[in-house]
Structure 1
Amino acid sequence: MKITQRALLVSLLGLSLAAGAATLLKTDPAKTSVSAVFKQMNVPVEAKFKKFAIAIDYNAATPDAAKATVEIDTASLDLGEADMNKEVAKKEWFNSAQFPKASFVSSGIKAAGAGKLNVSGKLTIKGKTADVSFPLTVKTEAGKQVFEGALPIKRLAFNIGEGEWKDTGMVADEVTIKFHVTAAP
């Protein structure tokens, strides 16, 4: 079988494109966390979500080809007290019975310098969708990719805290979604 230069070039180009494509990473649940940080009566609170699913397609050589999807079980927010956990799942807060998942789907990930990415996409909470963007750091530790970032949002834009809970004197409107994701191929 005779291989022409053109066929060899096409094969090598295909291999290099495949090598540069994004790679689906598997998250390490023991080293991954997603939390909500806010102020209640001007006291800082950080509450972690216990259940979430994160899918990341990423290759450090081609960060602009990366994609990410996050789904969070809204009823899994742990405020450290069972009654408070039940309260935030109610209709006035997350309305977890009707909206069991909050989600983020990236629409663009761009390199922003060494170890830095700018991420944009659609955030959906309680049936409301908004375009968001935020910076993200990425580094390699022990052969795994570690992604860290924070996304500030306004809870009232997503109807989180309806009725009497719209009062931002009790619970601030500003919420930061913090995440630390450890993943490997």
Structure 2
Amino acid sequence: MNTVLKTLLALSVSALALQAHAAPYQAIVPAKSSVTFSYKQMGVAMDGRFKKFAAQVNFDPTKAEQAKANFEVDLASVDAGSSEADDEVVTKSWFNATAFPKASFVAKQIKQTAPNQYEVQGTLSIKGLTRDVKFPMKHTAQGKDGLLTGSFTMKRADYSIGEGMWAKFDVVANDIQVNFSLTTTPGK
């Protein structure tokens, strides 16, 4: 195969790949998405998840700097591994889900750091307290859809999660690893 033909073939494949990402992702597919967390309780690794969350996104992987994203998690939808833990974590000492039913994340800046790799900066609000967060995110194309994955570590004390007798970190560690896997799809 001559050089010109190889170049044309490579350009055609590149153009097709770009066309697959032509429409920005504007919605998440909850059934194919997850928000999970992990932490240590008495030195033992524990895992949990949130069953209800919603997002407003406008993300084009080729124009990350123009992206917008708002994400809300229904705190009462927590699954901490047992009904006893689920009942406890929504109380005033932990999430205080009655007064603060949702946690929210608002992306302020998304920038590409490598092919399909991004750095996301934004604010995370829980229990009326807002803190800046920054984390890496990966994009994986899945036909017309895209998979956005990432994680970050938050300090529960920064959001008054675990007050009173739970304020110390001897039983439940301060570090909480938050993980997300969001299947996104173009708008209608």
TM-score normalised by the chain length of structure 1: 0.86
Q: Which residue of 2 aligns with 1:55?
A: 56
SS in 1 for 2:86: helix
Give the Cα separation in 1 of the matches to 2:57 and 2:45: 30
Aligned 8 A contact 1:37 1:47 in 2: yes
3-state DSSP of counterpart to 1:152: strand
Runs of 4+ in 1 over 6 A off after TM superposition: none
Structure 1 unpaired stretches of 5+: 1-19
Deviation at 1:184, TM superposition (A): 0.9
Give 1:143 deviation, angstroms: 2.3
Equivalent position amino acid for 1:84 in 2:
A
Instruction: Give the CA deviation at 1:57.
Output: 0.6
Deviation at 1:23, TM superposition (A): 3.0
Q: CA deviation at 1:24?
A: 4.7
Mapped contact 2:61–2:116 kept (Cα < 8 A): no
- Answering whether residue 165 of structure 2 is matched by residue 164 of structure 1, we say yes
**Could you tell me how far apart the structure 2 residues matched to 1:46 and 1:140 are?**
28
Structure 2 CA distance, aligned partners of 1:106 and 1:72?
A: 15
The 3-state SS of whatever aligns with 2:165 is helix
Which residue number corresponds to residue 184 of structure 1?
185
Q: Does 1:119 align with 2:124?
A: no
Corresponding residue number in structure 1 for 2:174 = 173
The farther-off stretch of 137-146 and 175-184 is 137-146
Identity over the aligned pairs, expressed in percent? 39
| Pairing 1:17-28 to 2, within 5 Å after superposition | 23-28=24-29
What displacement does 1:26 show?
Answer: 1.8
Give 1:21 shift. 9.4
Matched residue of 1:171: which SS?
Answer: coil
Aligned residues: 166
1:103 aligned partner: 104
What pairs with 1:8-23 in structure 2 (closer than 5 Å)?
Answer: 23=24
Cα RMSD between the aligned structures?
1.5
1:80 shift after superposition: 2.2
- What is residue 148 of structure 1 aligned with on the other side? 149
Alignment partner, residue 80 of structure 2: 79
Number of the residue aligned with 1:64 = 65
Local SS of the residue matching 1:151? strand
**Match runs of 1:35-46 below 5 Å:** 35-46=36-47
Q: For the residues of structure 2 that align with 1:44 and 1:143, how far apart are their CA atoms?
A: 36
SS of the counterpart of 1:61?
Answer: helix
- Aligned equivalents of 2:104 and 2:88: distance in 1? 21
How far off is 1:84 after superposition? Answer: 1.2
Asked if structure 2 preserves the Cα contact closer than 8 Å seen for 1:21 and 1:65, the reply is no
Question: In 1, distance between residues paired with 2:75 and 2:177?
Answer: 15
What are the superposed Cα offsets for residues 67-108 of structure 1, whole Å, 9 maximum, x if unpaired?
111100111110121121111000000000000000000110
